[in-house]
Amino acid sequence: MTLRDLAGRVNARLAPEAGDVDISNVASLADANPGDISFFGNPKYINALRKTRATAVLLPESFTEEVPVHCLFVPDPAAAFAQILPLFTPQPIVRALGIHPTAVISPDAEIGEGCSIGAHVVIESGAKIGTRSVIEAQCFIGQQTTLGENCHLHPNVTVRERCLIGSRVILHCGVVVGADGFGYEFRDGKQQKIPQTGTVQIDDDVEIGSNSAIDRARFGRTWIQRGTKIDNLVQIGHNVTIGEHCVLCAQVGISGSTRIGNYVTLAGKVGLSGHIEIGDQVMIGAMSGLAKNVPPKTIMFGAPAQPIREYKENYALLKNIRKLYNRVKALEAKNPD
């Protein structure tokens, strides 16, 4: 496609002389070659922009530096790039409608119209599958579990009994929903299992990454609310509640009965202890460990986590502790008494 065609699709401002330049692919700034188009939306990639071999780059309208590429100016380069990307990539795979002959489906399970049920899927008694949902190969849907409309379960997903899944939910490969919560009491010299009799509720428009686990409640429900996005390898313990439109990055671990508000961001490898409350719009930095309640709109970092300003101040002091130690030792040497 020509740059003029692409500029028209995203309402970009483009120098007239660049209009007939051909574009054949998309790439990152670092990996681009002549004929590719890329985008620049984060100042930390300015050096990559200056060195890129791309033919053209989508840039913010406020960008003023001269760079050796054809420039397409747009309000949001990342969003514009997302619009362009499908023009140069393979079309999404469309699964065949109907039920694969190897699927094992209970006679009293309800399958909505327009569904795709893949090879070796198991759907147990009393389960309900909403219209136009896709359940790929080797998934397991337990007894009395409900799955909403337009859901997509990728291969090897397990949703155990009595779970409630909303509409437009995406579960990637290896997700486990509704395994027993990790509950034991030490009695008579050994760990005695506490029955986990509750369920899991996942609301509309939630997406959960590969090999994440959402444990069922001891009683009541473990609840993931509308629009929350969960990365790969995340562990959510029993009776946890996660609010709307949260983002949980890879390897987050949340202990039981913790309550998380709306619009919360947990960066990679954050660990939360049990029975605490995290307010709305909290951000917790990568590899932080948290064991206490956090009020809304707070940024936390560190292990143990603390407000980001306190962390920066304390870290600056810690960096100078060796100098302070040497000064104290020198003073003691001069004045031994």
Catalytic residues: 238
Residue 9 tokens read as: 């699709």
**DSSP labels for 151-194?**
-EE-TT-EE-TT-EE-TT-EE-TT-EEEEPP--EEEETTEEEEP
d(CA 312, CA 269): 20
Please count the other Cβ atoms lying within 10 Å of the Cβ belonging to residue 105.
18
CA–CA separation, 178 and 171 (whole Å)? 13
Backbone φ, ψ for residue 10 (5° rounding): -115, 10
- Both ends of the chain: CA-CA distance in Å? 83
In one-letter notation, the amino acid at residue 249 is: C
56: how many CB neighbours lie within 10 A of its CB? 24
CA 5 to chain centre: 33
* Nearest of 75, 114, 73, 121 to residue 95 by alpha carbon: 114
> In a 3-state reduction of DSSP, which class is residue 299?
strand
For residue 330, what is the DSSP state?
Answer: H
Q: Which letter does DSSP use for residue 22 in this model?
A: B
